[in-house]
């Protein structure tokens, strides 16, 4: 019994005597992220550990991560554990602040409007919302009243406590409070899950937690807007009222975010598109774009650019039908996994057809036409395919969320041995393309198998390994999105950061062995056998409509010269220069530039202001002196006067700027 003790066993006889007589406490060892440990002779809370490190950290503590699980700051640690203390500087801490601020808002609403029922209040990107059931609608001026009441509750510094309650008791409690929606939520919680409530003062809300320790930890918040929302997102259910807000770790972060919101409103692509006369939307075609000439020119320039890059990278362009039989979508798996997002129609002979939501099945059909050999691979097929997806009316948002759009899709068919190299080439192409558009800050996100998927685990293991291998071989950093892959394969998402710090997910790369299996696609191997190809799904810009919107907001409409629908406007000072203006414009068009003339009988100052508002990169002004010297006076849209120069000199300057792609633009 005692052979393991003593000097080598880690305890002396005095310690053994203490253990036998129960006079020695078992030490709890807490391991911190830096590897250091702290020992305690009794159970401790997260806040206790923070206080042992320093009073400043204790004050800043919002919660903890114990053995990988987020817990309240008051959570008691009874055994050895790893601990990361969460403050407002951590991403998790900001999420806690936002979630707790949603509860704070709900408490303020209940104080001001006691008849209101609270439903759900989740964290969203940059903020939170809470849905309320109330007969009388909230008004914009109510937001200020609610904010003021929230500030009073913060000043009260109410402690926040977690409580557990039996299911039936919780349902009865909320019904007695008149909170029928909370009772319905509890009734739908699995029976083996505890019913967790959080109390702050006289307000109790259903929540799993964790939460901040007290309402005094909050304060950097702003309520932003009102909206309608159906209960549980179902249009068949009753309409609720939604209040949106934002919350941050401190007032400085809040102020910076509100400034970004203000800037984003100025840059809104719908406002810019109207100002520049690019496109319009109509109720007769919800979620579809009516392109004006200038807007369509911009769209075509995007297509031309992508087409040029793809051809240089060894892609062949194809095109497949927009409407195809239901049987094809059943084979691909879209009918079972994506049916609710598809537009369908039925012919008089009762055949069911669907507008394609994706281009992949049509591409496989092309690959299967004729016998393919291993010598033919890789085959890279690119398509500017029009796709149609049903999006709820409330989700439609200008060019950013539409029902009818164009994807710059490509599908690469290769051997398993070629798979990782082809992935690397796609990643390199995507990053190069984004640089040309002026996006230097690009993040990669790796998404693995979702719960709803096709294919066996062995196939998914192989695909995920190849995709991650390509990123690792290039030495690129990436984040991990568990369970967010496509239903047929893992994927990489390319996320671009714009001029005001917003992130936009654009391109994708997906690796797939499942669709070739479902469509029985094969190629002939070197020994005369048959083998399934690996299918890579690749998009550079994603939706061209959405990417147009992103560009307009990134550049605030001041598109780089190579993309601008109208690059130059030539304008006269008096009628005496009209003929020369037409000659210059014609010359520049022959040199490949997009040029307009402005011969209106208006003062030159008026014409300059009007064309500057149209964000045209260069204004060429012609007076008698310019005609006499065969020159044009050149002015940039930012007001820079470049002086008079010949058309040859102008062309040289413009070609140099075009060659720089998106690197030159006055945002």
Active site residue ranges: 360, 389, 407, 409, 411, 491, 537
Number of residues in the chain: 667
User: Both tokens of residue 216?
Assistant: 């005094």
- Helix, strand, or coil here: 123? strand
CB 60 within 8 A of CB 87: yes
Distance CA(446)–CA(458), nearest Å, equals 18
How far out from the chain centre does Cα 64 lie? 27
H or E element, residue 426: helix 416-436
Q: Let me know: does 160 contact 214? Beta carbons within 8 Å.
A: yes
Please give the Cα distance from 608 to 637 (Å, whole number).
Answer: 9
Q: How far apart are CA 361 and CA 100, in angstroms?
A: 46
8 A C-beta contact, residue 85 and residue 46: yes
> Within 13 A of 662's CA, how many CA atoms are on the CB side?
19
Residue 81 and residue 246: Cα distance in Å, rounded?
34
The CA R_g of the chain, rounded to the nearest whole Å, is 31
Q: How far apart are CA 441 and CA 436, in angstroms?
A: 12
d(CA 318, CA 464): 28
Is residue 408 packed enough to be buried (19+ CB in 10 Å), middle (13-18) or exposed (0-12)?
Answer: buried
Residue appearing with tokens 């997806």: 389
Report d(CA 494, CA 440) in Å as an integer. Answer: 12
Do the Cβ atoms of 598 and 571 come closer than 8 Å? yes
Rounded Cα distance between 156 and 150, Å, is 10
Nearest to 489 by CA among 469, 470, 508: 508
Give residue 300's region: left, alpha or beta (phi > 0; psi -120 to 50).
alpha
């Amino acid at each position: 019994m005692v052979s393991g003790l003593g000097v080598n066993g880690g305890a002396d006889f005095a310690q053994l005597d203490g253990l036998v007589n129960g006079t020695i406490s078992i030490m709890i060892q807490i391991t911190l992220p830096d590897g250091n440990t702290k020992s305690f002779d009794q159970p401790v809370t997260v806040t206790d550990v923070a206080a042992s490190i320093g009073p400043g950290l204790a004050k800043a503590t919002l919660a903890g991560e114990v053995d990988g699980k987020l817990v309240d700051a008051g959570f008691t640690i009874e055994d050895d554990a790893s601990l990361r203390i969460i403050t407002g500087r951590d991403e998790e801490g900001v999420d806690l602040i936002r979630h707790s601020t949603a509860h704070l808002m709900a408490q303020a609403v209940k104080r001001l409007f006691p008849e209101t029922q609270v439903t759900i209040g989740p964290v969203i990107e940059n903020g939170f919302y809470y849905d309320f059931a109330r007969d009388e609608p909230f008004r914009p001026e109510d937001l200020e009243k609610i904010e003021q009441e929230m500030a009073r509750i913060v000043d009260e510094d109410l402690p926040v406590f977690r409580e557990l309650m039996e299911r039936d008791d919780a349902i009865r409690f909320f019904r007695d409070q008149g909170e029928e929606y909370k009772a319905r939520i509890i009734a739908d919680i699995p029976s083996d899950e505890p019913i967790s409530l959080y109390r702050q003062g006289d307000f109790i809300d259903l929540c799993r937690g964790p939460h901040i320790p007290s309402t005094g930890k909050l304060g950097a918040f702003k309520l932003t807007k009102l909206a309608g929302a159906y209960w549980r997102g179902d249009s068949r259910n009753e309409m609720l009222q939604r209040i949106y807000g934002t919350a941050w770790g401190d007032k400085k972060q809040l102020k910076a975010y509100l400034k970004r919101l203000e800037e984003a409103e100025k840059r809104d692509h719908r406002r810019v598109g109207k100002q520049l006369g690019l496109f319009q939307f109509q109720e007769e075609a919800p979620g579809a774009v009516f392109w004006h000439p200038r807007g369509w020119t911009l769209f075509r320039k995007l297509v031309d650019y992508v087409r040029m890059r793809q051809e240089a990278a060894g892609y062949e362009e194809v095109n497949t039908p927009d409407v195809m039989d239901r049987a094809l979508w059943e084979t691909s798996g879209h009918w079972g996994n994506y049916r609710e997002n598809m537009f369908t129609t039925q012919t008089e002979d009762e055949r069911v057809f669907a507008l394609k939501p994706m281009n992949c099945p049509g591409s496989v059909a092309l690959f299967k036409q004729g016998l393919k050999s291993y010598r033919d691979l890789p085959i890279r097929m690119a398509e500017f395919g029009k796709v149609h997806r049903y999006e709820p009316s409330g989700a439609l948002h200008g060019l950013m969320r539409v029902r009818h759009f164009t994807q710059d899709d490509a599908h690469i068919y290769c051997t398993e041995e070629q798979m990782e190299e082809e992935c690397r080439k796609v990643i390199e192409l995507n990053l190069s393309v984004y640089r040309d558009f002026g996006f230097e800050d690009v993040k990669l996100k790796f998404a693995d198998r979702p719960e709803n998927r096709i294919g066996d685990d062995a196939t998914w293991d192989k695909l995920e390994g190849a995709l991650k291998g390509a990123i690792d071989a290039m030495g690129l950093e990436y984040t991990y999105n568990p369970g967010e892959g496509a239903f047929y394969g893992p994927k990489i998402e390319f996320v671009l950061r714009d001029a005001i710090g917003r992130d936009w997910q654009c391109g994708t790369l997906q690796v797939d062995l499942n669709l070739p299996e479902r469509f029985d696609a094969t190629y002939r191997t070197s020994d005369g056998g048959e083998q399934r190809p690996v299918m890579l799904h690749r998009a550079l810009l994603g939706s061209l409509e959405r990417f147009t919107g992103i560009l307009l907001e990134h550049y605030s409409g001041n598109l780089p010269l190579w993309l601008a629908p109208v690059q130059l406007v030539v304008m006269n000072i008096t009628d005496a220069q009209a003929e020369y203006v037409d000659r210059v414009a014609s010359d520049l068009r022959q040199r490949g530039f997009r040029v307009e003339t402005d011969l209106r009988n208006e003062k030159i100052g008026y014409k300059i202001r009007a064309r500057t508002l149209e964000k045209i990169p260069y204004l060429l002004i012609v007076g008698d002196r310019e005609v006499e010297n065969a020159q044009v006076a050149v002015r940039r849209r930012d007001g820079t006067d470049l002086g008079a120069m010949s058309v040859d000199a102008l062309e040289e300057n413009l070609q140099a700027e075009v060659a720089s792609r998106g690197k030159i633009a006055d945002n």
